[in-house]
Amino acid sequence: MLGLMQDQPLLISSLIEFAERHNGDAEIVSRRVEGDIHRSTWREIASRSRRVANALDNEQLLFSDRIATLAWNGHRHLELYYGVSGSGRVLHTINPRLHPDQIAWIANHAEDQVLCFDLSFLPLVQAVHAKCTTIRKWIALCDADKLPADSGIPNLVSYEAWIAPYGDTYAWPSFDENSASSMCYTSGTTGNPKAALYSHRSTLLHAYAAALPDVMNLSARDSVLPVVPMFHVNAWGIPYSAALTGAKLVFPGPALDGKSVFELIESERVTFAAGVPTVWQMMLGHMQANELKFSTLKRTVIGGSACPPAMINAFQQQHGVEVLHAWGMTEMSPLGTLCTLKNKHLTQSQEQQTAIRMKQGRAIFGVDMKIVDANGTDLPWDGKSSGDLLVKGPWVVKEYFKGEGGDPLVPDEQGRGWFPTGDVATVDADGYLQITDRSKDVIKSGGEWISSIDIENIAVAHPAVAMAACIGVAHPKWDERPIVAVVKKPGCELSRDELLAFYAGKTAKWQIPDDVVFLDAIPIGATGKILKTRLREQLRDYKLPGV
C-alpha cells in the first residue's frame, strides 16, 4: 500500500519560489568585481533568475545542457544557480584557480554550451576560448557599458544585455527530481579531474540537512557570508540553504583578503560565515595586527582541511565566535559531519569542550559512515581505532560523470555500496569523527602511523608560524620519517631547534618530526588547500639529517 500524500518532486526552483514569496525582502548583498557594493533581495533574484531562464530557452538550450560559470560569489552567479538549474539545465561551476589547460579539458569533457564569466577572468577566457570546442555562447557577467570593445572573444555579450529583452514571467518546469542540476569537478590531484553530478533531489535534501540546528543552524534572522566560493562544491550548499530559510546573503566577490572580509562582516552585520582555514588565517592576522573585534559574528563553519586548534581557540576565546568544524568532500555535496556539542558536554571544562570541537564532528542525518581495516572489516567506534572512512547517503556520489574511473563504490555483505573517501579516521563512542589524514598523506614510521594533521596543528600553534605542512621522507630504517615545512610569520624569528623543542610533551617522542624546512611559501591548490604533491616534488632532493 502506498502512502496517500502528494507526489511533488524536490526541485531547486521550489527554493527560489519559497524565498521570493516568504522572505522576498531579505537582502542579497554583493561586493562586485567592479568594486561597488550591490544590494538586491530574494524577490529580485527570483525575478532575474526567471529572466535568465527565458534567455536560456531562447538560446535553444536543451534539458540537461551544461551552462558553465567562471565566477566569484555574487548576485549574478546566484541568479544563474536558480535560472540554469530551475529551467532544467545543469550548472557547471568551474574553479578559476585551475590551470587553463585543465579548465579547457573540463569544459570539453562536460560539453559546456555556454560560459558565463566575471570580467576579472577575461585573460583566462582569452587563453582557453579557442580550445573549448563545445561552448557556443560567451557571456560576461557585467553591465552592457562595461563590456570591453576588443575582448578577442567573438560575439561576447554582457549578461545584462543578454537578459534585458526578457520579462520575468516564466513557469518553472516540473520534472523528475533525480534529474541532474549542477556539477563540480574534483581538483584531480591524481589523474584527470572527475565530476560529481548533483541532482535536484540530492541538492534539496542536502539543503534541508545543512540548515538543521545541529548543522549550520540557519534562519531568517541570519546574515550569512559564504567566503567559500560558489565554484567550490556550491559554496557548501549555502546558496540553497539560505533560500530555504530566508537568510540574508552577503557575497565577498573577489576580495578575500583579511581586511575586506572583516569590513564586510561588520558593515553587513554578518552572524554566520563559512570558509577554509587559510582564509580565516588571513582575517585573524589582520584583526590581531589592528586590534579589531567582531560586533555581530556568532558562528563560523570551518572545513575543507583540518582546522588547527589554535584557530578554534582564537575564534572562541578572543572573539566569542563558535567554531563549527566540518568535514566533507566534493563527492558528498559536500557535508558529511559537523561538530557541535551534546548536552552532556555543556558541564565540561573549556579544555574538554575544545578537545571535542577539534574533531570533525558527528554525522549529519542522511550520511551513514563507517571505518574499516585493510581487509574491509568494520572497526569499533572507540576513538582509538583508525581506519579507512567509507560513507553512503542520498547526497553521496554513486558514480562519476560519464562513468570516469569505473564503479567507485565498495559493496558490504548486504550488497549496499559505500563510497571510499580516501580519508583515514577514528570515531569515538559518541559518534564524533576525527580525520587523522588523507590515506596518501599518512606517514608510516616503523610500522606505526603518524598523523600529518597532528604534526601541522602543533606547528601552527607556535606564535611565529604562519603555515605548516608535514610530509613523510624515505628513511632506511623506519621506512618514512616526518618533516615539517614551515612558513614564518612576517618579522618573526624561529630556529629549527626552537620549533622541535616546542613539540616536547605535545606528542609522542617518536612522532616528533626529524627536521624543519623553512620556506617562503607552501604551495596551495585551487581550493585553498596545501598541495602536498607539489611540496613533495619541491623537496625531492631533500636529505634527512644524518641519513
What residues act catalytically? 186, 331, 444, 449
- Tell which one of 22, 131, 286, 438 touches ligand ADP (CB under 6 A): 438
As measured in angstroms, the least distance from the Cβ of 250 to ligand ADP is: 22
- Tell which one of 306, 311, 364, 494 touches ligand ADP (CB under 6 A): 306
Residue 369 has φ and ψ, to the nearest 5°, of -135, 155
**Would you state the cell numbers that stand for residue 539, as one nine-digit string?**
623537496
**Choices 109-117, 300-308, 475-483, 491-499; region in contact with ligand ADP by CB under 6 A:** 300-308
As measured in angstroms, the least distance from the Cβ of 407 to ligand ADP is: 19
- Residue 300 within binding range of ligand ADP, rule CB under 6 A: no
Closer residue to ligand ADP in complex, CB, 124/433: 433
**Choices 323-331, 397-405, 499-507, 536-544; region in contact with ligand ADP by CB under 6 A:** 323-331
CA-wise closest residue to 391 among 410, 413, 414, 415: 410
Q: Sketch the per residue contact string, 244 through 283, with ligand ADP: x for CB under 6 A, - otherwise.
A: ----------------------------------------
As measured in angstroms, the least distance from the Cβ of 303 to ligand ADP is: 4
Closer residue to ligand ADP in complex, CB, 11/301: 301
Q: Sketch the per residue contact string, 170 through 209, with ligand ADP: x for CB under 6 A, - otherwise.
A: ----------------xx----------------------
Closer residue to ligand ADP in complex, CB, 46/98: 98
Return all residues near 403 (Cβ < 8 A) that are at least 6 apart. none
SS3 399: coil
Closer residue to ligand ADP in complex, CB, 435/468: 435
**Choices 141-149, 314-322, 324-332, 402-410; region in contact with ligand ADP by CB under 6 A:** 324-332
As measured in angstroms, the least distance from the Cβ of 214 to ligand ADP is: 16
Measured distance CA(115)–CA(93) in Å, rounded: 10
- The interface with ligand ADP within residues 361-420 (CB under 6 A) comprises none
Alpha helices in 332-451 (DSSP H): 350-357
SS3 515: strand
As measured in angstroms, the least distance from the Cβ of 320 to ligand ADP is: 22
Residue 163 has φ and ψ, to the nearest 5°, of -90, -10
- Residue 238 within binding range of ligand ADP, rule CB under 6 A: no
Q: Sketch the per residue contact string, 3 through 42, with ligand ADP: x for CB under 6 A, - otherwise.
A: ----------------------------------------
How many secondary structure helices (H) and strands (E) does the chain include?
Answer: 17, 26
| Contact of 306 with 456, CB cutoff 8 Å | yes
Concatenate the DSSP letters of all residues of 356-374 into one string. Answer: HHTS-EEEPTT-EEEEE-T
- The interface with ligand ADP within residues 338-357 (CB under 6 A) comprises none
- Tell which one of 204, 264, 310, 329 touches ligand ADP (CB under 6 A): 329
Given the DSSP bridges, would you call strands 479-488 and 515-518 parallel, antiparallel or unpaired? parallel
As measured in angstroms, the least distance from the Cβ of 406 to ligand ADP is: 18
C-alpha dist (Å) from residue 518 to 282, 311, 316, 465, 521: 20, 21, 30, 10, 9
Measured distance CA(517)–CA(507) in Å, rounded: 19
Q: Total binding residues for ligand ADP by CB under 6 A?
A: 22
Q: Sketch the per residue contact string, 130 through 169, with ligand ADP: x for CB under 6 A, - otherwise.
A: ----------------------------------------
Dihedral, 283, 304, 69, 11 alpha carbons, nearest 10: -120
Return all residues near 400 (Cβ < 8 A) that are at least 6 apart. 194, 195, 196, 197, 408
- Tell which one of 41, 47, 245, 360 touches ligand ADP (CB under 6 A): 360
- Residue 325 within binding range of ligand ADP, rule CB under 6 A: yes
Closer residue to ligand ADP in complex, CB, 179/360: 360
Rg (CA), the chain: 24
Closer residue to ligand ADP in complex, CB, 31/325: 325
C-alpha dist (Å) from residue 420 to 319, 412, 425, 437, 483: 37, 12, 12, 14, 28
Q: Cβ-count burial of 507 within 10 angstroms (0-12 exposed, 13-18 middle, 19+ buried)?
A: middle
Residue with cell 578554534: 312
**Would you state the cell numbers that stand for residue 341, as one nine-digit string?**
556539542
Residue with cell 527565458: 54
Q: ω into residue 334 within 30 of 0, thus cis?
A: yes
As measured in angstroms, the least distance from the Cβ of 289 to ligand ADP is: 26
- Residue 435 within binding range of ligand ADP, rule CB under 6 A: yes
Closer residue to ligand ADP in complex, CB, 187/354: 187
**Choices 164-172, 256-264, 319-327, 539-547; region in contact with ligand ADP by CB under 6 A:** 319-327
- Tell which one of 275, 303, 366, 387 touches ligand ADP (CB under 6 A): 303
Closer residue to ligand ADP in complex, CB, 42/240: 240
Return all residues near 97 (Cβ < 8 A) that are at least 6 apart. 525, 526, 527
- Residue 432 within binding range of ligand ADP, rule CB under 6 A: no
Angle formed by the axes of helices 12-23 and 238-245, nearest 10°: 40
As a 3-state breakdown, the chain gives helix, strand, coil percent values, each rounded to 5, of 30, 25, 45
As measured in angstroms, the least distance from the Cβ of 470 to ligand ADP is: 13
- Residue 434 within binding range of ligand ADP, rule CB under 6 A: no
- The interface with ligand ADP within residues 481-540 (CB under 6 A) comprises 527, 529
Summarize as ranges the residues that interact with ligand ADP (CB under 6 A): 186-187, 233, 303-306, 325-330, 334, 360, 421-423, 435, 438, 527, 529
